[in-house]
Amino acid sequence: MNTSPHILLIYTGGTIGMIKNFETGALIAFDFDKLLSNIPELKQLDCTIDTVSFAAPIDSSDMNVERWKELGDIINARYDNYDGFVVLHGSDTMSYTAAAISFMFENLTKPIIFTGSQLPIGDLRTDAKENLITAVQIAALKEKGRSVITEVGLYFEYKLLRANRTTKINAEHFEAFQSLNYPSLVESGVHLKINKAFLRPANRRKKMVYHTHFDNDIIIVKMFPGINESILKSIFSIDTIKGVILETYGAGNTTTQKWFAHIISDTIKKGIPIINVTQCAAGSVEMGKYDTSVALKKAGVISGKDITTEAAVAKLMYLLGENLPLKVLKTIYETSLRGEMSEN
């Protein structure tokens, strides 16, 4: 009997799956059925790999909630048949999708590892092969018959990061992603160094629960000096908005002008959650630390703590989809659900 781990490789699109047509020089989509024969190195891995592709692979700039569900459905339908999943995805919105998938799958006991590349797999200098091969190896890691990684990860340029902690920070360098508020889970050098203390432990007594409802009636408002009162009033008066991510300065600060505080408190009084997320790449929101966030705290703004904007968006859509009363949503939002924020 073949006991080597069974891995499902899912291609959603993005640069990684393209090869150069040597006659025309243009990048063309890779025939995914031929993946294994085109990357013979994959055959040397001690695991069995099956592949499945989106019917119409996309540039990840075209990702949306329907496609998050399409991806989630692929994994959910095969969850019991595989030991781990590797998702090939364009890097541009990978952090958003990976965060969304982390909320969709509650009580994971298997790895779902996202990866991609800055150069196509057919390019001579590609980063795709290392990313793909190591992502598969990590998804296949077992100890005493159980998966070592039991969460959604993002593997890129020698590091496995907790997916819902990541941000794409570079459009040029191979090191495209960072997780500035949480350490790497695995580092790939001569050996794979697993940072066990930072892995999310699986709760094997609980059944995996698959969630699919995302409500995308939300906006992101980014603070900037000179932000305009009448424009902001018009935006907040759109009656279909159900949630707001407010990207604030530093530790969660905004202008102290009265009109701004009124917009915020009136919006919350209408039952619309406002999440305070910092514009800084690292660090946490701490409302009340400065006078410039006291009004927000009083009005009932929800603290995003050290969450990334990417994870904040996915978490807000996910919790709005659960149809919770505002008070409950606030309590749950301020709690770490999948390791996406620090507890304090």
Summarize as ranges the residues that interact with ligand ASP (CB under 6 A): 13-15, 59-61, 90-92, 116
331 assigned to active site:
no
| Least Å from the CB of residue 16 to ligand ASP | 6
Task: Give min distance, CB of 116 to ligand ASP, in A.
Answer: 5
Could you tell me the two tokens for 211? 């969630």
Least Cβ distance, residue 59 to ligand ASP (angstroms):
4
Strand ranges in the chain using DSSP code E only, listed in sequence order: 6-13, 18-20, 27-29, 48-58, 84-88, 105-106, 112-115, 142-143, 146-147, 152-156, 159-162, 167-168, 177-178, 186-188, 192-194, 209-210, 218-222, 243-248, 274-278, 302-303
Output 61 or 237, the one with its CB closest to ligand ASP. Answer: 61
Residue 328 CB partners (closer than 8 Å, separation 6+)? none
Distance CA 157, CA 132 (A): 10
The answer to whether the CB of 285 falls within 8 A of the CB of 258 is no
Q: Give the H/E segment covering residue 300.
A: none
Smallest distance, Å, CB 222 to ligand ASP? 22
Q: What three-state secondary structure class fits 19?
A: strand
Helix or strand run (H / E) with residue 123: none
The nearer residue to ligand ASP, 15 or 53, going by C-beta atoms, is: 15
Burial 27-47 (b: 16+ CB within 10 A, else e): beebebeebeeebeebeeeeb
Radius of gyration of the CA atoms of the chain, in A: 21
Nearer to ligand ASP, 92 or 157 (CB): 92
State how far the Cα of 18 lies from the Cα of 14, in Å rounded to an integer. Answer: 8
Task: Pick the catalytic residue from 12, 15, 166, 278.
Answer: 15
Which distant-in-sequence residues (6+ apart) come within 8 Å of 32 by Cβ? 11, 17, 51, 53
Nearer to ligand ASP, 101 or 295 (CB): 101
Shortest spacing between CB 124 and ligand ASP, in angstroms: 18
Q: How far is the CB of 220 from ligand ASP (least distance, A)?
A: 19
Nearer to ligand ASP, 177 or 214 (CB): 177
Q: How far is the CB of 100 from ligand ASP (least distance, A)?
A: 15
Closer residue to ligand ASP in complex, CB, 170/331: 170
Write down how long the chain is.
344
Closer to ligand ASP by Cβ: residue 59 or 73 = 59
Contacts of 262 (CB under 8 A, 6+ apart): none
Where in the sequence numbering do the catalytic residues fall? Answer: 15
